[in-house]
């Protein structure tokens, strides 16, 4: 039996980062993806009423909040940085990318076509370049030429960068080409795509609507 069970909807949005961390560490996990109807049925008996939810199958310990889950699993599996300060730097990349993911998710769930177009325009004019220019400098400084975001090894910061870019593309908000002007970010994204351990998963995972 896998130690952890990750429960979410049939989509990537707030759960895919944790899935990528499990795959990066080569750790098996139960990937429970619910449709809306099943979730409505168990929602009232759920201790929290929100997804994603992580459950430890051995202790029955539960945890909610997508970034708290991702951070916890990354630390448990050795993908969160090598000392307290490096962990904080990794967290700061993840928090930065999660802010950008928030903007992307907002666009995804915008039903009004005109407002959606306007949100996408503002995303490209402001949120994307401001975040990426900062991040590209940050990686140049703290990745020290390793090809990773922080320090000498893969951390969940790299996965967070990849995942946010992937969701930007999935949501139709931007394309992979938009990252090419940020050389350090581009290197990280390419490296993750080409790592065999991910490449298999990335190619085989089901198509998602969000």
Gap between the Cα atoms of 166 and 173, Å rounded = 10
Task: Give the interface size with a second copy as a residue count (CB under 8 A).
Answer: 28
Residue whose CB is less far from a second copy, 109 or 200:
109
Least CB distance to a second copy at residue 138 (A): 7
Burial 61-82 (b: 16+ CB within 10 A, else e): eeebebbebbbbbbeebebbbe
For tokens 């448990």, the residue is 76
Tell me which of 36, 61, 118, 180 binds a second copy, using CB under 8 A: 61
**Are the CB atoms for 164 and 103 separated by under 8 Å?**
no
Q: Which of 2, 70, 68 is nearest to 32 (CA)?
A: 2
Gap between the Cα atoms of 162 and 88, Å rounded = 19
Task: Find the part of the chain contacting a second copy (CB under 8 A) among 91-99, 158-166, 178-186, 196-204.
Answer: 91-99
Task: Find the part of the chain contacting a second copy (CB under 8 A) among 23-31, 62-70, 115-123, 172-180.
Answer: 62-70
Is 134 a binding residue for a second copy by CB under 8 A? The answer is yes
Which positions lie near a second copy, rule CB under 8 A?
Answer: 47-50, 61, 63-65, 67-69, 71-72, 75-76, 84-85, 87-89, 91-92, 95-96, 134, 137-138, 141
């Amino acid at each position: 039996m896998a130690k952890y069970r990750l429960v979410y909807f049939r989509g990537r949005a707030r759960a895919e980062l944790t899935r990528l961390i499990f795959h990066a560490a080569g750790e098996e996990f139960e990937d429970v993806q619910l449709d809306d109807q099943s979730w409505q049925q168990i929602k009232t008996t759920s201790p929290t009423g929100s997804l994603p939810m992580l459950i430890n199958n051995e202790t029955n310990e539960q945890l909610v909040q997508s970034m708290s889950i991702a951070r916890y699993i990354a630390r448990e599996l050795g993908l969160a940085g090598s000392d307290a300060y490096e962990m904080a730097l990794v967290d700061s990349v993840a928090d930065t990318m999660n802010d950008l993911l928030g903007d992307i998710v907002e666009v995804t769930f915008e039903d009004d076509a005109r407002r959606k177009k306007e949100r996408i325009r503002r995303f490209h004019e402001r949120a994307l370049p401001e975040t990426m220019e900062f991040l590209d400098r940050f990686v140049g400084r703290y990745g020290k030429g390793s090809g990773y975001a922080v320090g000498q090894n893969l951390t969940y910061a790299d996965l967070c960068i990849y995942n946010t870019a992937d969701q930007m593309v999935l949501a139709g908000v931007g394309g992979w080409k938009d990252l090419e002007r940020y050389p350090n970010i581009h290197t990280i994204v390419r490296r993750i795509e080409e790592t065999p351990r991910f490449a298999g998963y990335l190619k085989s995972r089901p198509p998602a609507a969000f």
